[in-house]
Amino acid sequence: MRYILAVDIGGTQLRAAVYPIDEPIAIKVERIPSHAPEETVLERLVSLARHLWPPDGSVDAIGVSVAGPTDPRRGLVMTTPNIKEWTDFPLADRLQEQLGPPVYLGNDANLAALAEWQFGAGRGHHNLLYLTISTGIGGGVIVDDRLLLGEHGLAAELGHVVVDSSRSAPICGCGFRGHLEAFSSGTAIERYVATELAAGKSSSLAGRPSAKQIAEAAREGDRLAIKAFRRAGTYLGIGVANYLHIFNPSCILLGGGVSRSGSLLREPFEASLREHVFHPSYLDDLTIAYAELGDDAGLLGAFALARMRLSLEPL
């Protein structure tokens, strides 16, 4: 049997899975905390991989999904949350030295887009936009059946575009002002509500509620909570309208925790999208759907990446 080993690296946990090369159904999956005393993350990752290694066959390639910016052409992790020692870190080379097979890596949101396109809600589309909306906003784009990477793999940072350049626009997690993420991420929703509460707005909420608590309050009719999701959805519609004009995709997929708030975000998002699209043709045959693969998107994307690179399919 021939296998692909897929790895999903997050700041708090490492996940790995073994897939037969011809189907996206893992025969083994395991997760461990990213950090432990007296062990580097790399050491933990190598042990996890060896632990999962299939005894009855060969691993043809290893795919790695990493939170944060990567350089997939050179196999570098540029930065990744909570793993300080991985700055411009040649992860692909280090893993290959220790494990043997070729290693291919990519950004988690990019690879989630790849996975949704190959195995999930985006199957059959040739031009697809994927947005994951959780604490931040990440993106991935399929252009004419290929993953958009850009010159150094830094493309598709869809949360980090200015949608409001006024001086009063909120600050993004990246430190810059007016980015889509600063309006429509879970963090942005939380910050908006906290600011309004501090300014004395009446609400069933108090203090610094989480996005989940705000969603619950909204479902119970809290006007501030509803307004917070409406604002996030409105800006998301502006951002996605921009992306329709830029990419003209046939499919938009929404993933991440905040997208699971259902109509709270989705209704104002779709209303704003329709309002901001500058020609109705962009909405012709446009599918808008939720991502399907959930937590498995990273592993499946790493699997898809490794398999495509192995077969020399263009990314």
Q: Are the CB atoms for 210 and 185 separated by under 8 Å?
A: no
At residue 309, the 3 state secondary structure works out as: helix
**29 contributes a contact to a copy of itself by CB under 8 A:** no
Subset of residues 137 to 166 that bind a copy of itself, contact rule: CB under 8 A: 143-144, 146, 148-158, 160-166
**285 contributes a contact to a copy of itself by CB under 8 A:** yes
**Residue number with CB closer to a copy of itself (263 or 281):** 281
Q: How far is CA 178 from CA 93, 96, 184, 241, in A?
A: 37, 40, 11, 16
| 175, 200, 207, 221: which one binds a copy of itself (CB under 8 A) | 175
CA atoms within 13 A on the CB side of 193: 31
CA atoms within 13 A on the CB side of 34: 17
**111 contributes a contact to a copy of itself by CB under 8 A:** no
**312 contributes a contact to a copy of itself by CB under 8 A:** no
Size of the site for a copy of itself (CB under 8 A): 48
In the beta sheet, which residues pair with residue 4? 19, 61
> What element of type H or E holds 8?
strand 2-9
Q: How far is CA 74 from CA 61, 77, 97, 260, in A?
A: 16, 9, 15, 35
Q: How far is CA 61 from CA 104, 140, 173, 269, in A?
A: 8, 22, 35, 40
**Residue number with CB closer to a copy of itself (38 or 285):** 285
**95 contributes a contact to a copy of itself by CB under 8 A:** no
**291 contributes a contact to a copy of itself by CB under 8 A:** no
**Residue number with CB closer to a copy of itself (31 or 146):** 146
Tell me the catalytic residues.
Answer: 108
Q: How buried is 197 (Cβ within 10 angstroms: 0-12 exposed, 13-18 middle, 19+ buried)?
A: middle
**287 contributes a contact to a copy of itself by CB under 8 A:** no
For residues 30 and 13, give the distance between their C-alpha atoms in angstroms, rounded to a whole number. Answer: 10
At residue 92, the 3 state secondary structure works out as: helix
| 196, 270, 276, 290: which one binds a copy of itself (CB under 8 A) | 276
Q: Which of 104, 114, 146, 119 is nearest to 26 (CA)?
A: 119
**279 contributes a contact to a copy of itself by CB under 8 A:** yes
**Residue number with CB closer to a copy of itself (99 or 286):** 286
Rounded least distance, CB 273 to a copy of itself, Å? 12
**122 contributes a contact to a copy of itself by CB under 8 A:** no
**Residue number with CB closer to a copy of itself (99 or 162):** 162
**Residue number with CB closer to a copy of itself (72 or 298):** 72
Strand order in the sheet with 137-143: 146-147, 137-143, 128-133, 251-255, 287-290
Rounded least distance, CB 162 to a copy of itself, Å? 5
| 235, 265, 305, 308: which one binds a copy of itself (CB under 8 A) | 235
Residues that bind a copy of itself (CB under 8 A): 69, 78, 126-127, 143-144, 146, 148-158, 160-166, 172, 174-176, 179, 235, 238, 241-242, 245-250, 276, 278-279, 281-282, 284-285, 314
